[in-house]
Structure 1
Amino acid sequence: MVKIQCSYTVTPSETKPTPPPTLSLSHCDQLKLPNHGSQIYLYTPSTTTTEPPPPLSISIHTLRTSLSKALTHYYPFAGRLHWIEAGRMELLCNSKGVHLLGATSDVPFDDFGDLADTHVAEQLAPRVDYSVPIEEVPLLVVQLTWFPCGSITLGLTLCRVLVDGTSLGRFMSFWAKLAKVESLDLSLLPFLDRTVLDSCRLNLSPRFEHPEFSPPPIWEGSSNVTTTSLYATAVFKLTRVQAGKLKKKANSNNNVRGGYTSFEVMSGHLWRCVCKVRYAGNGNQPTRLTTLVNCRNRLSPPLPDGYFGNATFPAVTQTCSFVEIMQSPVGYAAGKIRGAVHRMSDGYVRSALDYLADQKDMNLVRDRLYNSAGQNPNLYVVGWANFPFYETDFGWGKPVCLLPGSIGSDGKAFILNDVSGDGFVVAVCLQPSHVDALKKLFYEDIEPAATSKL
């Protein structure tokens, strides 16, 4: 249904400032897997203009020239990773470039399918070839897909080692401004010295226990374990009214300063629902929730404005049992999440940096964090709310939808703002049978007559 029409390697248009031969990666960067995550933006023709949408050739030219200018400042995207000692990596600033693809669909977008469908997402977010040496793997691949109805999707596939959501949001804003030939926003220029994060180390032994770096709970009982690699994604829409009802339930009879946040409550609600659909008779099954906490302003002093890199650290709840989460009110799960997030103080993050610096093999740390074989009893929630992704206008208007690409990881979820600003979108990846059950359960604790349709 989608055919690649053109392919380019985009390099920085200038060499000033002159990149160093290599760029050190922080301990926080080293914690990430050297694979890629993805985003898909959907743009549709405006109902307020009679101008036809730009053809593929013009749109690709706009992206190509503006991306080349953006890479002059965000040159790490044009580099490549390189393995060094102890399972660690460095960034080669060799300007090998970003890959840009132009594609067309032979059917209108409305007939193409649901962005949440894995098969659809895999066609719109470019794939990465991991069979080649890591020094040949691009850190950013972009695919623009043009539909005969005038709709456009922009799929990004980007290396997790390089950026977190904050850094990506700034880059996308900077690139879009260049595409629209707007004045250069100097506030969006990146701060590229990643050693400033590692300078927060105290060069001491860790002062805290760090359960976030310990292996997560595994599924107990071999009869219930599956090794399927087939997953499906469910996407739910929550209006602010529905989110408010959840918050009211969570905050009732809980003396919490300021009340639980929308993220804490929605994550807690999702955790309860996922435990229920996974439940197979063992109420003592251990489970925990992991999220990422942006520590830029939790450090003292905070990281420089514009810091480009990863500054999000994993935060994990206490390990609970399925029965604890399922039978307790949503405020119980939200409280566990709040405790995990609030633990991420300046001292705790400094201790985490010292812990990572002391590791003899980062591959072992990553294996403990990410490689859980078989069925997963846990939940991993990433917050994309409050990032400027919906402001990313390349001249086609603002996106009308944004979703992660194919998530492909059992128990991973994203929570982001709805494009209208009147609610939230929750996307979660599970085994197909669990997705079907979750679609029936998700709204029951909010309003029984609601549907899960976007």
Structure 2
Amino acid sequence: MAGSAASLKFTVRRKAPELVAPAGPTPHELNRLSDIDDQDGLRFHISLIQFYRRDASMSGRDPAAVVRDAVARALVHYYPFAGRLREIEGRKLAVECTGEGVLFIEADADVRLEHFGDALQPPFQGLEELVFDVPGSSEVLGTPLLLFQVTRLSCGGFILTVRLMHTMADAQGLAQFLAAVAELARGAAVPSVLPVWGRELLEARNPPRPGFAHREYDEVPDTKGTIVPLDDMVHRSFFFGAKEVAAVRSHLVPGLRKRATTFEVLTGCLWKCRTVALAPGADEEMRMICIVNARGGKGKQSAIPIGYYGNAFAFPVAVAAAGELCARSLSYAVRLVKEVKGEVDGEYMQSVADLMVQRGRPHFTVVRAYLASDLTKAGFGDLDFGWGRPVYGGPAKGGVGAIPGVASFLIPFKNAKGEDGIVIPMCLPGPAMDKFVEEMGKLLRPATVDVADMFPAMIKSAL
């Protein structure tokens, strides 16, 4: 029923939301977040969705009960998640570890997994029913920091949705916590990776002294109006397998073709195609924000220990005039992305923390900006609560907070043909989406081969 997924309608019956507290005693303390955690650009909730098939070996086991019990046990180790955020001096956020717990919803839906289509990918039908916004739970301060919903399907499978207050953890931190929940659900006594709070590692210096330009936090007046309207938005996802990535890479100059990572190639491609599609004035400054994980790097970055689950990434931004992006080759966009990614090291992270304190924790600029985040190594597709790996595991939707159309995630994905690759959700105004598909087609067309012959599946799904 892949063809019916676009118009899928189903009913979800939810039990009353409950609070799940840690399964054992936990400290009551006030823990300051880092100066990376509590910036304005992270003061919103992010949502994750996981689809699981029926597993005969788990017959008689209720996924809601299994997940609820494992969450309670995991919260003993990750007890700050069971607390509530408070704002202290200088708009500083701290979590009061109260042990109150996280929100949990048990639900049933009159739909089967296969009704969602052969190749699960964002956008998902009925998402608002699968991650229910409990009234009053979406505030930053004084509300539960996590919300779980386990929705049992009529086929015996289930859907797990998780909503997280982003100031508490990044994608890797959330994946680490959920991996602990999954291990405990499968019978482990303790998580294999123990959590590290350590937020003082990313605190500002006294006095703060930023050492980089940090154009991602420029104050940019939106003099020509919002470039992406909030109405008439079209959501589509695009699949890039090995053939598609190779085709895009073939448009780069030889040296860059060998040195650029897949993230850099695809991000530059999306930035260029999106700019052409939106048709801004030639002199308008366009911004490409790249999420760069600071874990496991050189210098001070190596001080971020295994088990750290706070936000440990930066938003470096490439900036270019729209006319240049549209007129010049793909190599121009990819080179700019590669350069700003390479700036991020331990000193850069320290500089961001300093800037946050110095300037009152500003939001990264979203004016004429686009953001890309690589989730191909986050591990959401590996989370096994006893029913095996998910059919799909990753972001429930694109966008940053309440701002649609300014962000895309690179999500690991296996298409209906069994090909491994990356799926990228995109949100654009209707006419711009048509132009985006046209521009993407040009970059998927090697010089002597017609793209429709090489990649009919992708072009067909995108049109």
Q: TM-score range by the shorter chain?
A: 0.7 to 0.9
Q: Does the aligned pair in 2 maintain the 1:217–1:286 contact within 8 Å? A: no
Aligned position for 2:38: 30
Structure 1 residue 108: Cα displacement = 2.4
SS in 2 for 1:95: coil
- The CA deviation at 1:76 is 1.5
| Amino acid across the alignment from 1:191 | V
Contact 2:12 2:108 in 1 (8 A): yes
Name the structure 1 match of 2:448. Answer: none
| Offset, 1:203 | 4.0
In the other structure, the counterpart of 1:70 is 74
- Deviation, structure 1 residue 128: 5.0
Alpha-carbon offset, residue 226 of structure 1: 6.5
User: Does 2:406 match 1:411?
Assistant: yes
Q: Aligned partners of 2:413, 2:436: CA distance in 1, in Å?
A: 20
Which residue number corresponds to residue 267 of structure 2?
267
Report the Cα distance in structure 2 between the residues aligned to 1:391 and 1:121, rounded to whole angstroms. Answer: 22
1:254 shift after superposition:
3.3
Partner of 1:12: 22
* d(CA) in 2 for partners of 1:132, 1:248: 45
Cα deviation 1:36-88 (Å, max 9, x = unaligned): 01111111236xxxx28657x81111011111000000112111111222222
Change (3 A) 1:436 1:210: same
Q: Secondary structure at the match of 1:122?
A: helix
Compared CA separation, residues 75 and 429, structure 1 to 2 (3 A): farther
Partner of 1:40: 49
SS of the residue 2:167 aligns to: coil
TM-score normalised by L of structure 2: 0.85
Match of 2:86 in 1: 82
Q: CA shift at 1:297, angstroms?
A: 2.8
Cα distance in 2 for residues equivalent to 1:297 and 1:267? 22
Q: Does 1:429 align with 2:415?
A: no
Check whether the contact 1:126–1:155 (CA below 8 A) recurs between aligned residues. Answer: no
The whole-number CA distance in structure 1 between the counterparts of 2:151 and 2:20 is 18
SS in structure 2 at match of 1:402: strand
Map of 1:279 onto structure 2: 279
Amino acid at match of 1:140: L
Q: Is the 8 A contact 1:126 1:142 kept in 2?
A: no
Alignment partner of 2:210 out of 206, 212, 225: 206
SS at match of 2:42: coil
Report the secondary structure of 2:291's partner residue. Answer: strand
Match of 1:391 in 2: 382
What is the CA distance between 1:2 and its match in structure 2?
1.9
Deviation at 1:343, TM superposition (A): 1.0
SS of 1:191's equivalent in the other structure is coil
1:228 — aligned with what?
Answer: 230
Q: Secondary structure at the match of 2:353?
A: helix
Residue of 2, 5, 13 corresponding to 1:3: 13
The alignment's TM-score, normalised by the length of structure 1, stands at: 0.86
Change (3 A) 1:133 1:400: closer
Which string of whole-angstrom CA distances, capped at 9 and with x for unpartnered residues, describes residues 403-452 of structure 1?
A: 42233522211012224682111112333443344345434311421324
% same residue: 25
Q: CA deviation at 1:401?
A: 1.3
Q: Would you say the 8 A contact 1:275–1:377 is kept in 2? A: no
- Cα distance change of structure 1 residues 432 and 84 upon mapping to structure 2, 3 Å threshold: farther
Structure 1 stretches lacking a partner, 5+ long: none
Does residue 99 (structure 1) correspond to residue 103 (structure 2)? The answer is yes
Partner of 1:189: 194
Report the Cα distance in structure 1 between the residues aligned to 2:234 and 2:256, rounded to whole angstroms.
38
Question: Could you tell me which residue of structure 2 aligns to residue 137 of structure 1?
Answer: 143
Equivalent position of 2:326 in the other structure: 326
**How many angstroms apart in 1 are the aligned matches of 2:329 and 2:263?**
16
Q: Does 1:157 align with 2:158?
A: no
Deviation at residue 230 of structure 1 after TM alignment: 5.8
Matches of 1:294 and 1:441, distance apart in 2 = 30
Displacement of 1:380:
0.7
1:278-357 pair list within 5 angstroms: 278-279=278-279, 282-298=281-297, 299-300=299-300, 301-317=302-318, 319-357=319-357
Please say if residues 217 and 287 of structure 1, whose CA atoms lie closer than 8 Å, have aligned partners that are also in contact: no
Cα 1:210/1:134, change in 2 over 3 Å? closer
Q: Does 1:446 align with 2:441?
A: no
SS of the residue aligned with 2:436? helix
2:186 matches 1:168: no
Partner of 1:248: 250
| 1:121 matched residue in structure 2 | 127
Question: What is the match of residue 402 of structure 1?
Answer: 393
Q: Against the structure 1 CA distance between its residues 255 and 413, is the aligned structure 2 distance closer, same or farther, given a 3 Å change threshold?
A: closer
Q: Deviations over 1:247-286 (max 9, x none)?
A: 2332x33358x61000000111111111121115x22222
Counterpart-to-counterpart distance in 2, 1:436 and 1:102: 40
Q: What is the CA–CA distance in structure 1 between the aligned matches of 2:83 and 2:326, rounded to whole Å? A: 46
- 2: CA distance between counterparts of 1:333 and 1:197? 31
> Does the CA contact (< 8 Å) of 2:140 and 2:165 recur in 1?
no
**For structure 1, which segment, 29-38 or 72-81, has the greater mean C-alpha deviation from structure 2 after superposition?**
29-38
Distance apart, 1:355 and its partner CA: 1.9
CA distance in 2, matches of 1:152, 1:131: 24
Please tell me whether the aligned partners of residues 116 and 403 of structure 1 are also in contact (alpha carbons under 8 angstroms).
no
User: How many residues align structurally?
Assistant: 430
Residues 362-415 of structure 1 deviation map (CA, whole Å, 9 limit, x = unaligned): 3xx12xx25x5xxx5321111111122111011111011134223352221101
C-alpha distance in 2 between matches for 1:391 and 1:9 = 26
**1:305 CA displacement:** 1.5
